[in-house]
Structure 1
Amino acid sequence: MPAERVVEWAAGCLGSEARVVSVRPLHGEQGPWLLRVGETSVVLRAVTPRVDAAMIATGVAALTVAEEYGVPAPRLLGVDLELTASVETVVGSTTWPEHPDLERVEAALRRVHVPLEARPGLPRRIRPIALDDFARDRREGLLATTPLLKVADDVIQEIAAPRGPTVFLHGDVWPGNVAWASPTECVLIDWKTAGVGDPGVDFGELRKQMAITYGLTPQGGSAYWDVVAALNTPTVLWTPEATERRDGFLRDALRRLRVAV
């Protein structure tokens, strides 16, 4: 649970008389936390074993940009750099529909991708989920690899990334980070690995997630960024089916790069 003084500060962001009714962790037993303050629910983000001060700062920088450009995202209600904490609005449910509405998520991403250069808290990103680098770990022998992953990594090491625009990136587009404000409107949440870079960083991750979660093979997209997204996964995923779907997605992307697999 967050420290009592952090919870009290968060409540104060809603007014001097606000009182906390409940505190519920949203990631296992860790933060972020859903706070019920009077009749209002808010999300409190603070440092945890898996989220450091830099990630909190990135989330704050990202939500500041999101509000400036009208990007679909939560809105900041308070920031305290000494406490390394922030409070933001609740924007919907992260329970995905039985049948994925890929077009609406892609439309939300296009609204995210406003032209933007790197700035404090929002560095350039060359892969999704920037805090992980599973491809490097395999290269350095820290993780086991497979022939398919080795071929894919060799290809990416040898070719240049596509020259695309530099835009605002969410950085971690998966079903758990897409909140449905209504059955037809979605909002991106959890901006701790946001940054700037090629739109393919986000679209490749979304396509990979659709392949792993739903078994889809989305059409179009950048084969290069699809390979990058597939490489930034553990060698063995949480189920054999998930691993098989990731590998199928990766093979398809390699074929589009004219690599025999």
Structure 2
Amino acid sequence: MVLRHRAGTPPADRRAHFLAAHHVPAPALLAATDDAALYEYAPGDMLLTLIEQARATDNTWHSVGTAFRRLHAIRFPMRLTGAFGNGTFDLHFTDPVHTQHELLDRTSLAQVADHLPKLHAMIDHYADHLRETPTALLHRDVYPANIIVGPDSTTLIDWDSPQVGDPGIEIAALEEHVHLLGAEVPPAFYSSYGDRPKTTALHRLTGAIDWLGADWLDEWAADTTVRGAKAKRWQSGLQAYLQAELAKL
């Protein structure tokens, strides 16, 4: 069992019951209070460790792909998005094209400024895909330490901020995290997950812009602990990725 202490957070029971009812690959909740939750232990290795130690095999990625396929199979109507908070999903209809344009409008990254017209045009090119893609249940923190690859299946842990949204956002984030570890998500993942969402490439690019402009990343990078060193590696990797992608425009 695993005991998680989260003082001041809403009880996890409703969220956990929803995940269990929809057969999401998440640890079972055994007990919960307002300040803590007791979960079933998920045996296995973190995907983070397997990548860093060069032990991630095709079987590893096939298992991970299966877990995300099961998660993203929980579908919602097109353009319906929102987060899980206070025991319920707060969902609303949005225009994903407008949301992407807004993301670019608020960026202050100097290296992006000269490319904004082409980036806005790219969003318009993806407009039909953005608006016609059914949304799905998303984990929304797919850092590879939250992906436990067990002997029989993969479990996603740390369900602190599940959302409903475009699956391409989550796959783009997974690809970005793996890229920042010096690897890439291989075909074996998609052999079990299914086709790469058509919006993934766009979300990968705009997501990198959003991450680099985030205040929290600058705050982490200023930290003198291990977290600060990790944030600096992320910033460096995102800068290199973004520079390469912008050069293609």
C-alpha contact (below 8 Å) 1:77/1:88 kept by paired residues: yes
Q: Secondary structure at the match of 2:160?
A: coil
Residue matched to 1:163 = 132
CA distance in 2, matches of 1:113, 1:65: 14
CA distance in 2, matches of 1:79, 1:114: 27
Q: Secondary structure at the match of 2:5?
A: strand
Residue matched to 1:139 = 106
Structure 2 residue runs without a partner (length 5+)? 77-81, 94-101, 188-195, 222-229
Shift of 1:138: 9.6
1:243 to 215, 232, 235: 235
Residue matched to 2:42 = 91
Residue type of the partner of 2:3?
Answer: V
Bigger share in helix: 2
2:88 to 104, 113, 121: 121
Residue type of the partner of 1:214?
Answer: G
- Deviations along 1:173-208, one digit per CA (max 9) or x if unpaired, are 1111111223x6321001111011111121111011
Residue matched to 1:229 = 207
Q: How many residues align?
A: 196
Residue type of the partner of 1:171?
Answer: R
- Deviations along 1:15-53, one digit per CA (max 9) or x if unpaired, are xxxxxxxxxxxxxxxxxxxxxxxxxx3222322xxxx52
CA distance in 2, matches of 1:112, 1:206: 14
- Deviations along 1:129-151, one digit per CA (max 9) or x if unpaired, are xxxxxx9699376xxx2313884
Shift of 1:216: 2.7
- Provide TM-score, normalisation by structure 1: 0.59
Shift of 1:76: 0.8
Could you tell which deviates more after superposition, 85-94 or 154-163?
A: 154-163
Residue matched to 1:22 = none
Change (3 A) 1:136 1:167: closer
Residue type of the partner of 2:153?
Answer: E
Instruction: Give the greater-gyration-radius structure (CA).
Output: 1
Structure 1 residue runs without a partner (length 5+)? 1-40, 127-134
| Greater RCO (Cα-Cα under 8 Å, separation 6 or more) | 2
Shift of 1:225: 1.7
C-alpha contact (below 8 Å) 1:149/1:231 kept by paired residues: no
Residue matched to 1:11 = none
CA distance in 1, matches of 2:173, 2:181: 12
CA distance in 2, matches of 1:154, 1:125: 29
C-alpha contact (below 8 Å) 2:63/2:149 kept by paired residues: no
